[in-house]
Each structure stands twice: as structure tokens, then as C-alpha cells.
Amino acid sequence: MARLNRIRMPPVLAPPVRLPRDVRLMNAVFAFIVTGLVAALLAAGVLWLTRAPAFTLRAIEVQGTLTRSQLPTLRTHALPELAGNFFSIDLAEAQRAFESVPWVRRAIVRRIWPDRLAVQLEEHEVQALWEASDGDQAGMTRLVNTFGEVFEANLGDVEDEELPLFTGPEGRAAEMLALWRRLQPAFGANGLGVGRQIERLTLSGRGSWRVELDRGVVVEMGRGNEAEVAERTERFLRTVGQMTARYRQPLLHADLRHADGYAIRLRGVSTAGAAGTASKAN
């Protein structure tokens, strides 16, 4: 028996009915009114959230190890700057308020439902004193942290700590910290009467380095990057013992800026040497 194949015809769509102009206008007005009412309700809800007593901030949890930042100081400096409740408070502004507190390096602020803030604080860890040799704050004593960042705090908090003093152009503190970390172990390990503690590290505007040690010894190290200055200093420390042993006088001054060696001045003796070998004595 023959099989019939049927072809389905696509449905015939009725042409769209165009509404009268006044009906279309009325629908547009109705949609506008509904949208406005929804927006007004949302605004009212947001306004209620910003004023509702249930969401007033009632506590701030301070996290982190604090050694210099005291809670009364935080309350005095930061809390007056906080405005709003759980929903409306600006976390970026709150972060800046806490970071304006002396000794606070960084603050991370977050909300804890429904009425608290949590503040994670990181304090500056002081490494050195800082005096800029130029700029608007030239000669003003500030502090350098372990990241090489200069910050301001009460110097009385560190008056009992033996901190080196860095003096140099503004913006060079991190570079000076890196060199100090390279040189301090070298001086600290020597037993030659040169001095074990760097009390002052100076970088001139022309890029020349100088250290002043705890025994009053001054070492002019000349120009160069960290590796060059460190190598020059370590070579000096390896050989200067020959000079101090020969004359049996304490070292007062050393000049490492000579291409073929260095010059030193001992108490009562003036010498110039290449690689630590004396060539002249007075």
C-alpha cells in the first residue's frame, strides 16, 4: 500500500494589531509611574537601612599584634572619623582613618553582620631614624620601617633604642636601608678596632656614601651601587688589620675612594696604603 507523505505548512501569523495612539500613550505613562514607584520604594528602603537603629555599629574588633598602637590612641584618632552604620559606612574612608593613627602602617576593614567592624592592623616596625638632606622636610627627623618606608611617629617611643641614622636625599631611604643591611654585618663581625655598629649612614646629593661608626670612626666609601660599595668595604675590612696592628693606634678615618687602595688616619699616625699595605707614615 502506498505511503502518503504529508507536508506541514507553517502557521499563518496574524499581522500585529497596532494599538491606538492614546492607548499606547497611556501604557507608557503607566509603565513610567510603576518604575518611579519601584525606585521610590527602593530609595526608601535604602534610607531606612542607613538610619535603622538595628544596624548602628556597636563594636569594632581590632585584630593584629599591637606593641606601639594603644586602644586609647585608636579611639582618639580613628573613631571620630567613622561615620554611618553597618550599611552606609565607607570602608575606604575607615581604612584611611585607621592608617592615620601613628605607628599603623596598614589597615584592612571589613563588616561583620549585623553591627560590627573588624579591623586588621599592621604596625610599622622601626629600623632606623631618617633625616632628609633636601626637600620641604630637610633636617626633620622621622623614622624608617623594615620596608624602607619613611613615616612619622613620636620619637620618644624609640629614644631607648639604638637606631642608626640615615641622612640622604628624599626618596632614597629604601636604597640606604638595603646598603645598611649589607654593611652592618661586615662591620659587626670585625674585631679590628674599627667599630662594630654603624651609627650614621650618609648619602650625598652626588651619590657618595659615608658611614660613621660607634667608636667615632668615619669611613668615606665613595660612589657606586650597593654591590660595588659593599665589595669595596669588605676588601678594606680584610686588610685594615695589618695597618692597625703595625702602628697599634686606633683608627680615626678611612678613605676608600682611591682606585688602587685606600688611605687611613690613625690616632697620631697618617698613612696611605694600597690593599692595606702602608706606604707612608708621619
Decide: 91 and 147 in contact? Cβ < 8 Å. no
Range picked from 52-61, 148-157, 244-253 for highest mean pLDDT:
148-157
pLDDT digits (tens, 9 = 90+) for 73-100: 898 989 899 998 898 899 999 999 999 9
Question: What is the grid cell recorded at 153?
Answer: 611617629
Q: What is the mean pLDDT of residues 239-248?
A: 83
* pTM (two decimals): 0.76
Unique residue bearing C-alpha cell 544596624:
55
Q: Residue 25 has what pLDDT?
A: 73
- Residue 66: per-residue pLDDT: 87
Please tell me the predicted confidence (pLDDT) of residue 280: 34
Where do the H-state alpha helices sit in 17-103? 21-51, 71-77, 91-99
Which pLDDT belongs to residue 241?
83
Single-letter amino acid code for the residue at 198: I
For residues 85 and 113, what is the distance between their CA atoms, to the nearest angstrom? 11
Using CA atoms, how far residue 84 sits from 40, 47, 76, 227, in Å, is 22, 12, 18, 53
The reported pLDDT for the residue numbered 140 is: 93
CB 281 within 8 A of CB 263: no
Domain boundaries, the chain: 54-123, 126-281
C-alpha cell, 190: 670585625
In this predicted structure, the answer to whether residue 239 has a pLDDT above a threshold of 70 is yes
* Per-residue pLDDT at 61 exceeds 60: yes
CATH 3.40.50.11690 is the classification of domain 126-281 = yes
Superfamily (CATH H level) for 54-123: membrane protein fhac (3.10.20.310)
Cα–Cα distance list, 94 to 88, 151, 182, 226, 261 (Å): 11, 20, 39, 40, 57
- 139-192: pLDDT as tens digits: 899 999 999 999 999 999 999 999 999 999 999 999 999 999 999 999 988 766
For 114-132, the pLDDT digits (tens) are: 899 999 999 999 999 999 9
> What mean pLDDT is predicted for residues 216-234?
94
For residues 19-31, average pLDDT: 71
Closest CA to 109 of 124, 100, 126, 96: 96
Pick the range with the lowest mean pLDDT from 7-16, 19-28, 94-103: 7-16
